[in-house]
Amino acid sequence: MNNIVLPPKKNMLYRIGKHPFFIPYRRLFILITLVNCYIFYKGLYSWHWFNPEHVAIYNISRVILFNFSLAILIRQQYVINLLFKVATSVPKHWPLFIRRVCAKIYHFGGLHSSSATMGTLWYFVFVWGIYNSISNDVYQISNPIVMITTFILVLLVIIVIMALPQIRAKYHNQFEITHRIGGWSVLLLFWIQMFLFVKLESPSIPLWEKLDFWILMTLTISVIIPWLRLKKVDINIVSPSNHVALTSFDYGTTPFAGSSTALSRNPLLEWHSFANVPAPNKSGFRLTISRAGDWTGKFISEKPNKIWVKGIPTAGVGNVDKLFNKVIWVATGSGIGPCLPHLLLNETPSVLIWSTRSPEKTYGEALVNEIKNVQPNAIIWNTDEHGKPDLVKLAYKAYKDFNAEAIICISNKSLTQKVVHSMEYIGIPAYGAIWDS
């Protein structure tokens, strides 16, 4: 690899646009923040929402509801699949600069985090408006409204704090619990709050004639839908080594390539998503689960006979391969799992670079042979024999030799970011998970 020379980086202005701080996820976050700042500015100076004697709490509540609607709906599985379907339906003969932008669709999480954060900040304003109205005796606000409103604010603050990247990474199980149980609680309290405000504001108007009612109904249905498909299914587990579990399912669902399925042994507490590996013209699917924490370690050791699943297979970053004529897949360890269905399907010509320790010993000869059969030119790098490779240089060489249009990296966080941003800095479209949830 010493003879592989990377081209010079693009100019400073180009690199600023590709800097990790300005990834589309953060651009969307900034966009939603600016929109909310503009609304606050208009409310303050043009719409007069914040008069000392009268705070327009109903207008503020509507802004809050719109923000949380975006936060919830953008995470709905059917919405996610629709977004990917629209983005990846762009024809491959379109200019590359259009297709490489469409391939950033998986950054939609920036809408979720930004609208949830802005909704929470607006809720601070709303609570201030409630207490201000009480002190000025503007509305006859009851004690139950005050108590529920304050409790909602506390829950929202806890949810936002636990979702901060560093805290979420360190206390992931607690993050999941607060996000799920706290989110359900907030939604329920929003319903109660709405009933109380309707009774206060316009008790003679039927509830179904109010926009807030239909928005809350839509959000509630959106949250419930995945749980309607909750089921405990049989699972078959084969462990070629103590590091990995090759699992297989066949409960009537055959997911599409590039999707993931959420698994749980305790549905109310934690869920873990893994990339589906369907085989062409076969029912069911497989998952490749490596030892990467307490949950996966216990799963591999205990090999349960049944597991909980919910919702529908949901599109992930690997789907963006549909936008390109040729791609390079870069994977480390069990990152081969998300790549495998695309390699088997072979809809987009590709070359695989897979860096892992003792592949046959760790993942079994059957899986390695399956990969070699569909990828005879694959670069399978045994790190036990050759040490860790420079995946940036390997990816670049494969990209040039294969005349590819993009690189897709499935690895751990630091290595994914290194490969993706190194490629982007020299003008090569590159994609990989962004760990936004």
Q: Kindly state the average pLDDT of the residues 61-75.
A: 96
Asked if domains 12-227 and 317-432 share a fold, the reply is no
Q: For 317-432, which CATH class?
A: alpha beta
Q: Which residue bears the tokens 């989110």?
A: 183
pLDDT for the residue 200: 77
Candidate from 53-57, 127-131, 162-166, 333-337 with smallest mean pLDDT: 53-57
| CA 111 from centre of chain | 11
Q: What is the share, in percent, of the chain residues with pLDDT greater than 70?
A: 99
Residues 306, 311, 313: CA angle, nearest 5 degrees: 90
Rg, C-alpha atoms of the chain: 25
Give the count of alpha carbons within 13 A of 420, CB side only.
Answer: 23
Q: Which CATH number fits domain 12-227: 1.20.120, 1.20.1070, 1.20.272, 2.60.40?
A: 1.20.120
d(CA 121, CA 43): 15
Closest CA to 17 of 106, 88, 100, 91: 100
pLDDT score, position 18: 85
Distance CA 182, CA 178 (A): 5
Tens digit of pLDDT for each residue in 158-208?
A: 999 999 988 988 888 889 899 999 999 999 999 999 988 888 777 777 788
Domain ranges of the chain: 12-227, 231-315, 317-432
pLDDT over threshold 80, residue 22: yes
Assess contact for 262 and 323: CB atoms under 8 A: no
Specify the pLDDT at position 90.
96
What's the mean per-residue pLDDT of the chain?
A: 92
Q: Distance (Å, rounded) from C-alpha 271 to C-alpha 285?
A: 19
Q: How confident is the model at residue 1 (pLDDT cuts 50, 70, 90)?
A: low
- Residue 430: the pLDDT is 97
Predicted confidence band of residue 379 (pLDDT cuts 50, 70, 90): very high
The residues pairing with 236 across neighbouring beta strands, listed in sequence order, are 248
Instruction: Compute φ and ψ for 248, nearest 5 degrees.
Output: -135, 145
What is the number of other CB atoms lying within 10 angstroms of the CB of residue 325? 14
**Is residue 275 within a helix (H) or strand (E), and if so which, with residue range?**
strand 270-275
CA–CA gap between residue 413 and residue 48 (Å, rounded):
46
Outline where 88-210 has alpha helix (H). Answer: 96-102, 109-135, 143-162, 165-170, 172-177, 183-201
Place of tokens 């003008």: 427
CATH class of segment(s) 231-315: mainly beta
- According to the model, what pLDDT value does residue 2 have? 66
**pLDDT, tens only, 265-276:** 999 888 989 999
